[in-house]
Amino acid sequence: MANGAAVRLDLDGKPIKPLTICMIGAGGFIGSHLCEKLLNETPHKVLALDVYNDKIKHLLEPDTSEWAERIQFHRINIKHDSRLEGLVKMADLTINLAAICTPADYNTRPLDTIYSNFIDALPVVKYCSENNKRLIHFSTCEVYGKTIGSFLPKDHPLRQDPDFYVLKEDTSPCIFGSIEKQRWSYACAKQLIERLVYAEGAENGLEFTIVRPFNWIGPRMDFIPGIDGPSEGVPRVLACFSNNLLRREPLKLVDGGESQRTFIYIKDAIEAVLLMIENPERANGHIFNVGNPNNEVTVRQLAEMMTKVYSKVSGETAIESPTIDVSSKEFYGEGYDDSDKRIPDMTIINRQLGWNPKTSLWDLLESTLTYQHRTYAEAVKKATSKPVAS
């Protein structure tokens, strides 16, 4: 949208003033989609902070970009960079997306996980509070941990009662596993930074919004091992399964793929974030679940659906045995634990921002796997084709 376009109004009919947004982690999956949305549809300026910019390179080309004046990239590692406070001060709003958020890392790199998600986020909260700047902090649905229902016997009727599994921002407890289950290092660090943000609001008047994403998926998510990420890397489930499909390997189902998850299309989720950005009076002081309860499946069902969708978009028939069961110990290592179900309650976000997700699971998988096939299929074929011995 050009700066001279019609005045945009918030949900209460008030004009939205152009903002300068300091976005930490702008080069990642969520950041890249949010930058696109802000540049395409709003007059806001973005100070894009990250160590990498591969996923937003197309937004930074000075010759081709009509919005070159509205986005600046700053190559910063927020752990130890004196420029961070100055950039927070220059902005009206800071959005912190920076995190280690891959389950494979929680077990194998628990210290990095805790430092990245708690210690490294502390200065961001401090600078926003001390300089009276608004903060949108990205947390995770993992802060809920396990559902109350998971502690009941498997055949107990109350397991089917929404009160025992639907996750509510203001009333659901956060239940983690034992300390030796290092999988909870991520959730625990994320919960503690949430508590700190909330306390800064209560004691020092910090204007904040906390976002709890429930499995946002779409193009540019994570990486494909050995192509645009480390060969030994283990990305999250969507990229893991995409990698298997691209390589014509069975999809690995951890502990039978019985865990239940909901998945939401990144473009739906970004709509919700834009509403938070532009409606501070409705969003400040709130924690928001952002997910799609209508897109609930077991991980096994997700694998079966992705196999069908990939066959459709690639024109390739599925392999004879499309899935294989592996234990969590074998896949993630010692100390792994999991939550049984993650179904978001949508009452608060619907009441405050009038937002509901739109895209079905099939449609979002079709869009995402079309992108994965178009982007990676040739590179994977080259990487996997072995030279013929002479």
Please say if the pLDDT value at position 334 is more than 70. no
Q: What is the DSSP string of 165-223?
A: TEE-TTT---B---TT-GGGHHHHHHHHHHHHHHHHHHHH---EEEEEE--EE-TT-S-
Confidence of residue 342 (pLDDT cuts 50, 70, 90): confident
Please say if the pLDDT value at position 2 is more than 50. no
Q: Is the CB of residue 145 less than 8 Å from the CB of residue 175?
A: yes
Confidence of residue 240 (pLDDT cuts 50, 70, 90): confident
Confidence of residue 1 (pLDDT cuts 50, 70, 90): very low
Please say if the pLDDT value at position 326 is more than 80. no
Report which of residues 54 and 22 the model is more confident about: 22
Please say if the pLDDT value at position 63 is more than 80. no
The predicted structure's pLDDT at residue 87: 97
Report which of residues 350 and 375 the model is more confident about: 350
- Decide if 67 is inside a domain: no
Count how many domains the chain has.
1
Token representation of residue 189: 């660090």
- Decide if 44 is inside a domain: no
Task: Please list the residues that pair with 343 across neighbouring strands.
Answer: 166
Rounded to 10 degrees, the C-alpha dihedral 149/153/157/163 comes to: -10
Query: How many angstroms separate the CA atoms of 210 and 69, rounded?
Result: 29
Q: Is the CB of residue 124 less than 8 Å from the CB of residue 84?
A: yes
Which pTM does this prediction carry? 0.91
Query: How many angstroms separate the CA atoms of 201 and 194, rounded?
Result: 11
Phi, psi dihedral angles at 132 (to 5 degrees) = 55, 45
The predicted structure's pLDDT at residue 170: 95
Query: How many angstroms separate the CA atoms of 71 and 99, rounded?
Result: 22
Q: Which of 103, 109, 113 is nearest to 141 (CA)?
A: 103
Confidence of residue 232 (pLDDT cuts 50, 70, 90): low
How large is the angle between the packed helices 29-41 and 266-278, nearest 10 degrees?
60
CA–chain centroid gap for 103, Å, is: 12
Flag the least confident range among 128-132, 195-199, 304-308.
Answer: 304-308
Confidence of residue 281 (pLDDT cuts 50, 70, 90): very high
- Decide if 386 is inside a domain: no
- Decide if 9 is inside a domain: no
The predicted structure's pLDDT at residue 154: 84
Q: Is the CB of residue 121 less than 8 Å from the CB of residue 208?
A: no
- Decide if 286 is inside a domain: yes
Report which of residues 342 and 284 the model is more confident about: 284
H/E element holding 332?
helix 328-332
Query: How many angstroms separate the CA atoms of 55 and 53, rounded?
Result: 6
The 10s digit of each residue's pLDDT in 187-214 is: 999 999 999 999 999 999 999 999 999 9
Q: What is the residue range of 233's domain?
A: 99-378
The predicted structure's pLDDT at residue 152: 85
- Decide if 64 is inside a domain: no
The 10s digit of each residue's pLDDT in 139-149 is: 999 999 998 88
Mean pLDDT calculated for residue range 45-49 = 97
Buried-state track 88-103, b at ≥16 Cβ within 10 A, e below 16: beebbbbbbbbbbbbb
- Decide if 348 is inside a domain: yes
HSE-up of residue 277 (Cα within 13 Å, Cβ side): 30
- Decide if 41 is inside a domain: no
Q: Give me the CATH number covering residue 263.
A: 3.40.50.720
Residues known to be catalytic: 186
